A = this chain, B = another copy of it.
């Protein structure tokens, strides 16, 4: 059978990571070099770029700039959070996508994102199968949340984990520099899954990390938390806490909402800003009085810190993108590329490609196993450490200019029709 010949589209969607562009580069470089792919088109802002007929011609980019994508944070092609309706309810978007696919003779579609993006990818794949338009459709995973089903881990998570663990280890040293007592609460991303907040345990494992770590996988007991903080404060004088933004009480109510609820309106007519960290800070103050306490939100920093990425993650992210193209041009479709972990004879970590049905990935979420969290629900076990440590190894060799990382500058020239 002859290989399918035609153009490909690569799109990025959802919250960016510091290595999602390494996956995009894996797709773009491999596709540019593949004789069956006649044209490589980058969708501006994910699926919206397809709907708007805004497609960049990736062959017109300088090869050296494209290569810098390996170390450039955020989604270089632009991202979106656009949800496709079910085609049975409203198929106008799908008909438009098909129209664009036909216009450019698109026979390969690669979508680089997390859960919602895999949902988009799955819906497009199913629609094309249904209408009988031949197009190989592959999902390329990314998410700092690490919550995609069926894969050992997700590109983007290891680098964010490395940044969180490194930053919190540095904070550990800074926060305890005076001989006066203090509490410091660090808020980490993760709405439903605590994989990323869990990475703070790496610093604890190295003897320089949080005393308490809370994930959304275990219902958060406010009184237990306050007692733990109080006990540590009076025992040791120093309390460092890492907490997932998504922690909630037994009833499922977000702890962050406790603050929002009570937050009164300021003179501008707005509720005072204040995320989970400041809510917890206020709870501790309420219990313990006016102690020295600080809340720190790692915010966007944790998902774009390319300067502190994991080399393992970068290499694997590229590999995922490359595998998507290699496999699609061999006829594979309707799958997401995932990872399977093995260990070689010397016990060294090895990461292999595996394939998962888009259908399954689109509708599932992977959480930290309860048994990887300690019995008290305020720390991680050795199982989690064994899982995460191989992923954060290796320091990337960034290109520097003026003492600063040199990131890719794409020309983004729109493809001719």
Contacts and interface: CB of A to CB of B under 8 A. Distances in A.
Contact of A301 (B300, B301, B402): B301
Contact of A166 (B294, B299, B405): B405
Interface residues of A, number: 83
A301 B179 contact: no
B78 A307 contact: no
A324 to B, nearest CB: 21
A17 to B, nearest CB: 9
A307 B266 contact: no
Tally of this chain's copies: 2
Interface of A: 16, 18, 44-45, 48, 72-75, 78-81, 162, 165-167, 169-171, 173-179, 184, 202-203, 205-208, 259, 262-270, 272-274, 278, 281-283, 285-286, 294-301, 303-308, 310, 312, 389, 392-395, 398, 400-405, 407, 409
Contact of A402 (B48, B80, B278, B389): B389
Contacts of A398: 395
Given A166-B405, A395-B400, 11 more contacts: A16-B174, A72-B173, A73-B173, A79-B178, A80-B179, A171-B301, A173-B407, A262-B267, A268-B286, A270-B286, A307-B308
Contacts of A74: 170, 173-174, 176-177
Given A166-B404, A169-B404, A262 B273 contact: no
Given A170-B18, A282-B272, A404-B165, A264 B266 contact: yes
28 contacts: A18-B170, A74-B170, A74-B177, A78-B178, A162-B403, A162-B404, A171-B300, A173-B304, A173-B407, A174-B304, A202-B403, A203-B404, A207-B409, A208-B407, A264-B266, A268-B286, A272-B274, A272-B282, A273-B278, A273-B282, A273-B295, A294-B300, A296-B300, A392-B404, A393-B402, A393-B403, A394-B403, A395-B398
Contacts of A263: 266, 272
Contacts of A409: 207
Given A78-B177, A81-B178, A264-B265, A296 B301 contact: yes
B273 A304 contact: no
Nearest to A286: B268
Please list the 3 inter-chain residue pairs (A to B) with the smallest Cβ-Cβ separation, ordered nearest first: A74-B173, A268-B286, A392-B403
Contact of A300 (B175, B305, B310): B175
A283 B270 CA distance: 9
